[in-house]
Amino acid sequence: MLQIQNLSFARGKNVLFENLNFSMTEGDAMRVTGSNGSGKTTLLRIVSGLCRPDNGAVVWHGAVAQKNESEFVRSVNFLGHDDGLKKQLTATENLKLMLPLLGASPTDIEISAALDAAGLEAVKHKPVMNMSAGQKRRVALTRLDFMRHRVLWVLDEPFTSLDVSAISALVVKLRAHIESGGVLIFTTHQDFDVVPEASSLSLD
Amino acid sequence: MQWESISDFFAMGGYGLYVWGSYSVTALCVVIELVDLRKNR
Amino acid sequence: MATFFFLVAAILTVWGLYIGFFVAPTDFQQGESYRIIFIHVPAAWMSMLIYLVMSFWAAIGLIMNTRLSSMMAHALAPTGALMTFVALWTGAFWGRPTWGAWWVWDARLTSELILLFLYIGYMALRASIEDPRRGDRASAILALVGVVNVPIIYFSVQWWNTLHQGASVSLTKSPTMATSMLTGMLVMALAFWMYSIAVSLMRVRRIIRDREGNATWLSESSGVQ
Amino acid sequence: MYKAFISVLRKELLLALRQKTDVVTVLFFFLIVSSLFPFAVGPELNTLKIIGPGVIWVGALLCSLLALHRVFETDFNDGSLEHLVLSGEPLTVLVIAKISAHWLITGLPVVIVAPFIGLQFGLSAASLSLLLGTLLLGTPVLSLVGSIGAALTLGVRGGTALTSILILPFYVPVLIFGAGAVVADLQGLSIDGHLSILTAMLCLSVALAPLAIASAIKIALE
């Protein structure tokens, strides 16, 4: 389903990774590890089509991703370090205006239900600016509930600033995604293994 | 040959300032560029 | 290779200046001041030609993702800016005796000035982006946007100039060119061209060394260094 | 695609409503810049009448430059710019949505206010309406072309100053024909040439600018 063929990328003179090869099919999960600056985020951005590698290719369903970019990008759900939320808008407004962009158009009820499930019912109508980092991350992660139509989930540090209950809730969502035939690639600094069945790729 | 003498050549029919002004600046720019390139070869 | 072009440039310059100062007759209308034409016009031509070549290399670098062509575009910009400055400076020095003013809003001089701004913009953008990859491609886009706009700018300045001032004596409408004047100018243009190639080749080698210090393909191609 | 276009537009307009400061600062800047000139040039109307259109046009141009950082910078910093690329919708269409929202927020108010400022320069009603017309045609071009500079300098230090260096040369033709139309009209010359060229520039920039902006954004996000 997803093949990475001798991918290499160098930032200026230091080579981040070279001739990287791996492939993943439905239900696979992979955790990318490595010290800071080892190129984890760059690899995730290349895999999700945001960044072009120096050489090598990302192959999705047998077709090189860069060739039919819009097809490939539509099947990728990338979540970066930043939450991508507008501080002046409320959590509900943020989701309501962001999701149509990513191919989902939930009703207001579905959105507020998802926010309640994430334990945000108290703050969901208040501007995001006066939320804590953990709450903002949860709002951003609520997006995952509506990303079923995007098979390849690429999550960069999804667990940062989450408390224990939010971490376990997220693990449930990730497992559900894998069991439903999705593909998951993520990075995390959590020391314990949050998704045990995930294979591991180290960039150090 | 146009010029009777060297001084006539530099006078350039009264336009010496303008003609030599432009030629010298051009030469200066070329020299600056070459020095810059030569400096950190 | 660069030294070869330097030699040719030097020979052509000497020959061109010889024609310009010793063979070409005194101009009946402008006297001797027209001799500035032997560097003004070649510099103006080169400033335009270098911008086009720079944008060509930038486009190749952007589309084919080849680093060498972006570096070539990067190497050409300073020489292009220098040529534009020389064209403006010599234009002003020539304008002073002929039109009586250091700066005249003649259509060509004005678009030359804007071309200088384009070069400065290109180099400013290139200098302020640290990551060379992004620097290459961002400046390539700027160069391409510039290439699309250069004709627009030229014609709007032409229209604006004729609207306000009426066609002033523009440079090429100067007295019919005696053959020796023309050959002098063409030889000098060729000399400037050789010079630009030589300088750009030297600069591109330095850029390659700065940026790809350890890349394997570098050592083969410039083993001679 | 249509839904994505609308949601980008609504998001920008909602943001502008929540944060009115941007619109207000641009308008005050426009007002102040254009009313400085009478102090510099002297109050008699016949000189003001000649320089009026030029001053107002340069004022509108500076306002568009001032507001340019708003187009992509905030989205680039909080990570929502990635959603545009990740959506899979043609990026050029989403870019047009963002720029039209930007123009509605910062360009249109300037165009509406311009005739009133024109009164300061003693311009007649006819040339004021022509000024309005040229600004209506010209300011979208300023926003479109300016956004190329904004996209190219995303995340680069000294961004706004750098953007103006990059973009001013491309503003010259718009300024020539925009201000030139009003001046030509004052001199009784025909202005259909000016207006048709301004419209041509508008069509050209609507067609080409988003392409350059889209690739500039993709590069900035690498």
Beta bridge partners of A90: A127
- The phi and psi torsions of A149 (rounded to 5 degrees) equal -75, -5
Structural tokens at position C124 = 């400013």
Q: Is residue C116 scored above 90 in pLDDT?
A: yes
Residue A151 CB coordination number (10 Å): 21
* Distance, CA of A121 to CA of D161 (rounded, Å): 43
Nearest CA in chain C to A10: C133
Instruction: Pick the most confident of A17-21, B7-11, B14-18, D217-221.
Output: D217-221
SS (H, E, C) chain A: CEEEEEEEEEECCEEEEEEEEEEECCCCEEEEECCCCCCHHHHHHHHCCCCCCCEEEEEECCEECCCCHHHHHHCEEEECCCCCCCCCCEHHHHHHHHHHHHCCCCCHHHHHHHHHHCCCCCCCCCEHHHCCHHHHHHHHHHHHHHCCCCCEEEEECCCCCCCHHHHHHHHHHHHHHHHCCCEEEEECCCCCCCCCCCEEEECC
In a domain, B1, yes or no: no
* Distance, CA of D144 to CA of A105 (rounded, Å): 29
pLDDT-above-90 percentage for chain B: 15
Q: What is the pLDDT of residue C169?
A: 42
Nearest CA in chain C to D214: C141
DSSP summary character for residue C31 = B
Sequence-distant (≥ 6) Cβ neighbours of residue B37 within 8 angstroms: C199, C202, C203, C206
As for the ipTM of the complex, it is 0.88
* Distance, CA of C159 to CA of C162 (rounded, Å): 5
- Per the prediction, chain C carries an average pLDDT of 83
Mutate to test the interface with C, among D50, D141, D213, D219 (most CBs of C within 10 A): D219
What Cα–Cα distance (Å) separates residue A70 from each residue in A48, A66, A75, C143, C147? 11, 9, 9, 27, 29
Q: How far is B37 from chain C (nearest CA, A)?
A: 7
Domain region containing B16: 6-39
Helix (H, G, I), strand (E, B) or coil at C203: helix
Q: What is the number of helices (H) and of strands (E) in chain B?
A: 2, 0
Structural tokens at position D178 = 């925009």
Q: What is the pLDDT of residue C221?
A: 47
Asked if A40 and A201 touch (Cβ cutoff 8 Å), the reply is no
Between chain A and chain D, the number of residue pairs with CB atoms below 8 A apart is 82
Q: DSSP letters along chain D, please?
A: -HHHHHHHHHHHHHHHHH-THHHHHHHHHHHHHHHHHHHHH-S-HHHHHHHHHHHHHHHHHHHHHHHTHHHHHHHHHHTTHHHHHHT-S-HHHHHHHHHHHHIIIIIHHHHHHHHHHHHHTT--HHHHHHHHHHHHHHHHHHHHHHHHHHHHTTT-TTHHHHHHHHHHHHHHHHHHHHHHHHHHHHTT---HHHHHHHHHHHHHHHHHHHHHHHHHHHHHT-
In this predicted model, what pLDDT tens digit does every residue of C9-33 receive, in sequence order?
Answer: 999 989 888 888 887 777 777 777 7
Q: What is the pLDDT of residue C19?
A: 84
Asked if D120 and D33 touch (Cβ cutoff 8 Å), the reply is no
Q: How far is C89 from chain B (nearest CA, A)?
A: 7
Q: Is residue C57 scored above 70 in pLDDT?
A: yes
Q: Which residues of B touch C31 (CB under 8 A)?
A: 13-15
Asked if A112 and A139 touch (Cβ cutoff 8 Å), the reply is no
* Distance, CA of D67 to CA of D193 (rounded, Å): 30
* Distance, CA of D77 to CA of B33 (rounded, Å): 39
DSSP summary character for residue C222 = T
Could you tell me the pLDDT band of residue C225, with boundaries at 50, 70 and 90?
very low
Q: Is residue C117 scored above 90 in pLDDT?
A: yes
Residue C18 CB coordination number (10 Å): 13
Least confident of C3-12, C79-88, C204-213, D120-129: C204-213
Q: Is residue B38 scored above 70 in pLDDT?
A: yes
Nearest CA in chain A to D11: A97
Closest among D158, D150, D127, D137 to D205, alpha carbons compared: D137
Sheet holding A2-11, edge to edge: A14-24, A2-11, A55-60, A63-64
Could you tell me the pLDDT band of residue C168, with boundaries at 50, 70 and 90?
very low
- Per the prediction, chain A carries an average pLDDT of 86
Q: Which residues of D touch C156 (CB under 8 A)?
A: 172-173, 176-177, 197
Domain range summary for chain C, segments of one domain joined by +: 2-25+34-168+180-214
Sequence-distant (≥ 6) Cβ neighbours of residue D190 within 8 angstroms: D184
Structural tokens at position C145 = 């946007």
* Distance, CA of D141 to CA of D177 (rounded, Å): 12
Sheet holding A183-187, edge to edge: A76-79, A152-156, A183-187, A29-33, A199-202
Q: What is the pLDDT of residue D201?
A: 94
Match 């016009």 to its residue by tokens. C41
Sequence-distant (≥ 6) Cβ neighbours of residue B20 within 8 angstroms: B10, B12
Of A11, A13, A52, the CB nearest to C213: A13
Could you tell me the pLDDT band of residue C36, with boundaries at 50, 70 and 90?
confident
Of B2, B26, B34, the CB nearest to C86: B26
The list of chain D residues with pLDDT below 50 reads: none
Asked if C126 and C139 touch (Cβ cutoff 8 Å), the reply is yes
Q: How far is A55 from chain D (nearest CA, A)?
A: 15
Element (H, E) at C136: helix C132-165
Pairing type for strands A76-79 and A14-24 reads unpaired
Asked if C128 and D157 touch (Cβ cutoff 8 Å), the reply is yes
pTM for the model:
0.88
Closest among D90, D86, D37, D85 to D59, alpha carbons compared: D37
Q: How far is C206 from chain B (nearest CA, A)?
A: 6
Beta bridge partners of A155: A79, A186
* Distance, CA of A189 to CA of A158 (rounded, Å): 10
Asked if D101 and D12 touch (Cβ cutoff 8 Å), the reply is yes
Could you tell me the pLDDT band of residue C180, with boundaries at 50, 70 and 90?
confident
Sequence-distant (≥ 6) Cβ neighbours of residue A77 within 8 angstroms: A102, A144, A147, A150, A152, A153, A154, D86
Q: Which residues of C touch D220 (CB under 8 A)?
A: 134, 138
Q: Which residues of D103-141 are buried (b: 16+ CB within 10 A; e: fewer)?
A: bbbbbebbbebbbebbebbebeeebbebbbbbbbbbbbb
Of D173, D215, D222, the CB nearest to C153: D173
Half-sphere exposure of A63 (CA within 13 A, CB side): 9
| 100-159 in chain C: CB under 8 A from chain B | none
Helix (H, G, I), strand (E, B) or coil at C175: coil
Of D4, D14, D18, the CB nearest to A101: D4
Counting the structural domains of chain B, the total is 1
Q: Give chain D's largest Cα–Cα span.
A: 58
Could you tell me the pLDDT band of residue C223, with boundaries at 50, 70 and 90?
very low
Of A12, A13, A52, the CB nearest to C65: A52
pLDDT-above-70 percentage for chain C: 86
Q: What is the pLDDT of residue B2?
A: 65
CA A23 to chain CA centroid, nearest Å: 18
Type of residue found at C13: T
C113: left (phi over 0), alpha (psi -120 to 50) or beta: alpha
Could you tell me the pLDDT band of residue C214, with boundaries at 50, 70 and 90?
low
* Distance, CA of D216 to CA of C115 (rounded, Å): 22
Asked if D114 and D133 touch (Cβ cutoff 8 Å), the reply is no
